[in-house]
Structure 1
Amino acid sequence: MQIRSLRQLTLVSFAIALIPLIALLWQSQSDLANIASTTAQDNTFFVAIVGASRNIDSDAIDIERLIRQHLIVRDDRLKLLIKERLRTFTLDLDNLCESLQQGVACSKLQRRTHRLANFAEIEQQVQLDAQLSEFRDYVAELRRAVGTVISQRIVEQQQMMASQRQKQVWSTAILALLSLVLIIKGSQLIAQPFEQLKKLIASIAQQNGELPPISNKGPIELLSIERDLHWLADRLQQLEHLRTALLRHASHELKTPLASIKEGCSLLNEQVVGELNQSQREVLCLLNASTDRLNTLVEQLLDYNLLLQQAEPVMVATNLAALIEACLQENALALNHNERRVDIRLDIESIVVDPDLLRRILDNLLSNAIAHGASDKTIFLHIYSSANYYVMDVANFGKPIALEDRERLFEPFSRGNTQRNDQVVGAGLGLSIVADCARLMQGRVSIVDHAIADVCFRVELPNKEKSTA
């Protein structure tokens, strides 16, 4: 049967899980009906044989009394009464023996009863006493046989009840276990489409590129959601391509007019086209500052765009001292202008990383420390190994970063509240580039408290050598 909706799947699973419980209820009712029928039959049997046994005892007493009277009186009417009592006694005895199925006690009493039918021929008291004593003994033996039969039936009834109880326990355990299995299976059938949706959402979030195929079977509601998620993934991919293209073209196209503006400013500054007055020099200074700011923004856009296009890092052994030296030379002008000194501590000489990504991390963190750190203060750079990670701490003095702002600073186009030392308004991409570079190398970046500095950025990159050792 094809399940067409989530409601139908839930109802069918619930109905299937109820089947063992319904079977258990039906069996319980059947067992109770069987016990009730057996108990009713036994009660009827007990009432019948007890009543017959009492009648036989009463008839036996009457027969004995009448025969003794006949031995004294010798009356024909008494003789007829004795024969009627013997006939009634015989009928009751036959019925009781048929119910008891006790051959020995019944046959003895039946033979004794037939012999008592010749009571008229008994002349002596001694002979009569002997026959009546034997008759009483046989009646008592039959009474004991009745008690034995009743006891046996009670024992059989108790055994039957115990057997039914044991059967009910096992049936309950087996059917309850089967019902539990069916419930688990039904819950899996219900949860399976949601697992497919979770995988699809995870693939969209991770931007794996290839999404799981659309399912052919399942509830129509979830299939509709799955198709919508595929459409959403395609739309997000289109938007990502548009964003990448926009950044690429905008940053590239801005370079050409920016170069022309800088060249014009340089010509004016050198007074090639004529001498400038004081007002013109002030305007030129403003123009140069704006040009530098625009150049910084374009370079950050180019870095961010290049980072978006890099899919997989190339991990190689990288000499830290050489990489840091190249980075410091590039930032030497900014360091000298702000009278900064970099305190470098290298506990390890080389690490296995992507050198280009690590260089971007170091460039942006160093630029951030120069731009936002306190002037005339030392910048601390410490690289060491901890557990299965390489750790790089870049710390500086300045205004501490509030706890609620720390995570937000690593988002694209997000800027802090502190003012830059160079009076240039950044694009808010530097720290996001650091976070993306660390993520590409399966690492992470965070802001931590430092013992001797106000602000410390910590980059942790996995140590492939220790993790594979």
Structure 2
Amino acid sequence: MTTRVTRRWRPRSLFQLVLLAFLVVMLPLGVLMFQAGQALSELSRLADVSARQAVEETRRARTQGALALEMERSARQYAVVEQESLLEIYAERLEEYRAILAHQRLLLGEEPDVAVLERQLEVLERLPELPLEAFREQLVLFPPFAERTEAIRRATNRHIDIRIESIRERAEGVQTRLWLQTAALVSASLVLMLLFTWLIIRPVRQLERRILGIGSGAPREVTRSVQGPAELVQLDERLDWLASRLDELEAEKQQFLRHMSHELKTPLASVREGTALLADGVAGELTPRQLEVLGLIDASGAELQRLIEQLLDYNLLQHNRQVAPERLDITVVIREVLAKHRLALSSKGMRVTCFDAPLEWSLDRTITARILDNLISNAIAYGADGGELEIRAKRLRDRLEVDVANSGDPIAEEDRHRLFEAFYQGRARRKGPLKGSGIGLSVAADCARLQHGRLELVEDDRLAVCFRLTLPLGIPTEALPHSRMPALEAGHHARN
């Protein structure tokens, strides 16, 4: 159970955590969008104001040049025709020119041409008061006046260019600042995204480890409670309950198997003992027909005992994963197993071919014998009467390969991918009155994996069915994980 302190800072639900993550990650991006909008608005406003001012100043400079030209024209016309209305036009244009020049002074500041024009205006303002001859002599002032006006226009253009360059530099500064802010805020968003991803993934991975631990069947260890949203904490508590329940079911299964094996083997031993006494003639001589029936009863009892032992072997493999490798001759192990099946092979009429050259390897005697026992029993049960059983072995650089092949019907394709599953029985049926348990090859495959090897079905040129046991060069002595590994690896097939 979680403490009150952890519940205080933890979001109450996964939805709240995801929503909070979304809002916090989007916050820097929102700030970035707001600042970018502010900067763009500022640049847009500055560009609009500057454009308006540039248009107005350009228009004023052109008007100033036009006014200077009209002043000169009206003055020269007056000097020719001597009409007073021309002097009035001259005075009006001069006042307009003076007003525009005052704006230009505010724009250009201490520009020398502005001061010169102001002095020239003072002289030109007194022209109407002069006598006609003196007026005509002062007409030479207008060309320099026009040149100064043109200089003011060029100065205005330069001022506009300087302002545009300033706006461009300011825009570059804003762009640089936006790039820096973008890098910083996007980095902050990424960091926050990684943080919240970790906050979400961490409890999920803790639950995944818990589930793998429960599925592997390994002894439970004291683990810290999941720190995360309430849904995941509740799921962790449910997993605790599930683990406890699975432990109880496992204990009940073990108890059932122990009791079942005892309850089955005790009366079976009495039955076999009784058949042995009858066969020895304790109750009197038996006819050949009675001896035949008695032999069938004893054979069935022996088969039933073998099935019980297979079931116990399967249960033992699920809980005892220790191996004890030793260096020994694999040929000796194979001969010992064949000796156990000598009578069954003789009754089946199978011809046995087995290599006899010494071949030493590091392996577990008991586990390897159990594999070979199941493979040979499988060959006897499913092989053809009067057929062949061939056992081959070869040592490669890093592994040992032992083949157990027999004649008979080939394995159906639809059965191959499930034949290593416990209690699965394929379409082929055993030859004889008894039915198999479906765990023989499952036990053999588990025994192979205990030695870090594998059991697979391979193609053989002569015989219909060929199982290959592959053992590595060195077998670790530690136990494998308690969980059942997949019974069928890619490309490996087997038969129950």
Q: Do both proteins adopt the same fold according to a TM-score greater than 0.5, normalized to the shorter chain?
A: yes
Looking at structure 2, the residues matched to 54 and 265 of structure 1 have their Cα atoms a distance apart, in angstroms, of: 135
Q: Contact 2:10 / 2:229 at 8 angstroms: preserved in 1?
A: no
Of 151, 155, 164, 1:145 maps to: 155
Looking at structure 1, the residues matched to 312 and 226 of structure 2 have their Cα atoms a distance apart, in angstroms, of: 44
Corresponding position: 1:396 with 2:406: yes
1:61–1:363 Cα change, 3 Å? same
Residue of structure 2 in register with 1:342 after alignment: 352
- 395-404 or 166-175: which moved more? 166-175
Looking at structure 2, the residues matched to 315 and 40 of structure 1 have their Cα atoms a distance apart, in angstroms, of: 89
Residue of structure 1 in register with 2:430 after alignment: 420
SS of structure 2 residue aligned to 1:208: coil
Q: Higher relative contact order by CA 8 Å / sep ≥ 6: 1 or 2?
A: 2
Instruction: State the shift of 1:380 in Å.
Output: 1.5
Residue of structure 1 in register with 2:99 after alignment: 91
The residue type paired with residue 385 of structure 2 is: S
Residue of structure 1 in register with 2:138 after alignment: 128
Alignment deviations for residues 346-373 of structure 1 (CA, whole Å, 9 cap, x no partner) = 7872222222111111111112212221
What pairs with 1:17-416 in structure 2 (closer than 5 Å)?
17-68=25-76, 85-101=93-109, 103-119=111-127, 120-121=129-130, 123-124=133-134, 127-165=137-175, 167-168=177-178, 171-172=181-182, 175-176=185-186, 178-210=188-220, 213-276=223-286, 284-345=294-355, 349-386=359-396, 388-416=398-426
Instruction: State the shift of 1:55 in Å.
Output: 3.7
1:231–1:315 Cα change, 3 Å? farther
Instruction: State the shift of 1:13 in Å.
Output: 1.8
SS of structure 1 residue aligned to 2:49: helix
Looking at structure 1, the residues matched to 187 and 103 of structure 2 have their Cα atoms a distance apart, in angstroms, of: 51
SS of structure 2 residue aligned to 1:225: helix
Instruction: State the shift of 1:30 in Å.
Output: 0.8
1:295–1:73 Cα change, 3 Å? closer
Alignment deviations for residues 439-469 of structure 1 (CA, whole Å, 9 cap, x no partner) = 2222222222212111111222232289xxx
Looking at structure 1, the residues matched to 165 and 117 of structure 2 have their Cα atoms a distance apart, in angstroms, of: 27
The residue type paired with residue 41 of structure 2 is: A
Residue of structure 1 in register with 2:463 after alignment: 453
Alignment deviations for residues 50-91 of structure 1 (CA, whole Å, 9 cap, x no partner) = 343244234323433444456568788876775555444323
Specify every segment of 5 or more residues in structure 1 that has no aligned partner in the other structure, as ranges: none
- 229-238 or 169-178: which moved more? 169-178
SS of structure 2 residue aligned to 1:458: strand
Q: Contact 2:400 / 2:470 at 8 angstroms: preserved in 1?
A: yes
The residue type paired with residue 473 of structure 2 is: N
Instruction: State the shift of 1:399 in Å.
Output: 1.3
Q: Contact 1:248 / 1:305 at 8 angstroms: preserved in 2?
A: no
Q: Contact 1:397 / 1:453 at 8 angstroms: preserved in 2?
A: yes
1:286–1:446 Cα change, 3 Å? same
SS of structure 2 residue aligned to 1:442: coil
Instruction: State the shift of 1:227 in Å.
Output: 2.4
Aligned length: 466
Instruction: State the shift of 1:172 in Å.
Output: 4.5
The residue type paired with residue 220 of structure 2 is: E
Looking at structure 2, the residues matched to 238 and 459 of structure 1 have their Cα atoms a distance apart, in angstroms, of: 36
SS of structure 2 residue aligned to 1:317: strand
Alignment deviations for residues 139-160 of structure 1 (CA, whole Å, 9 cap, x no partner) = 1111221222223333333444
SS of structure 2 residue aligned to 1:375: coil
Looking at structure 2, the residues matched to 136 and 130 of structure 1 have their Cα atoms a distance apart, in angstroms, of: 11
Looking at structure 1, the residues matched to 220 and 38 of structure 2 have their Cα atoms a distance apart, in angstroms, of: 59
1:279–1:355 Cα change, 3 Å? closer
1:127–1:329 Cα change, 3 Å? same
1:340–1:71 Cα change, 3 Å? same
The root-mean-square deviation of aligned C-alpha atoms, in Å, is 3.1
The residue type paired with residue 14 of structure 2 is: L
- 439-448 or 77-86: which moved more? 77-86
Alignment deviations for residues 287-324 of structure 1 (CA, whole Å, 9 cap, x no partner) = 43442332222222333333334222122223212222
Q: Contact 2:382 / 2:408 at 8 angstroms: preserved in 1?
A: yes
Instruction: State the shift of 1:31 in Å.
Output: 1.7
Q: Contact 1:203 / 1:211 at 8 angstroms: preserved in 2?
A: no
Runs of 4+ that moved beyond 6 A: 72-81
Q: Contact 1:200 / 1:212 at 8 angstroms: preserved in 2?
A: no
Looking at structure 2, the residues matched to 79 and 56 of structure 1 have their Cα atoms a distance apart, in angstroms, of: 19
The residue type paired with residue 410 of structure 2 is: P
Looking at structure 2, the residues matched to 337 and 171 of structure 1 have their Cα atoms a distance apart, in angstroms, of: 89
Alignment deviations for residues 396-435 of structure 1 (CA, whole Å, 9 cap, x no partner) = 0111111221243322223344443453323222212101
1:372–1:257 Cα change, 3 Å? same
1:226–1:404 Cα change, 3 Å? farther
- 7-16 or 46-55: which moved more? 46-55
Residue of structure 2 in register with 1:429 after alignment: 439
Instruction: State the shift of 1:26 in Å.
Output: 1.0
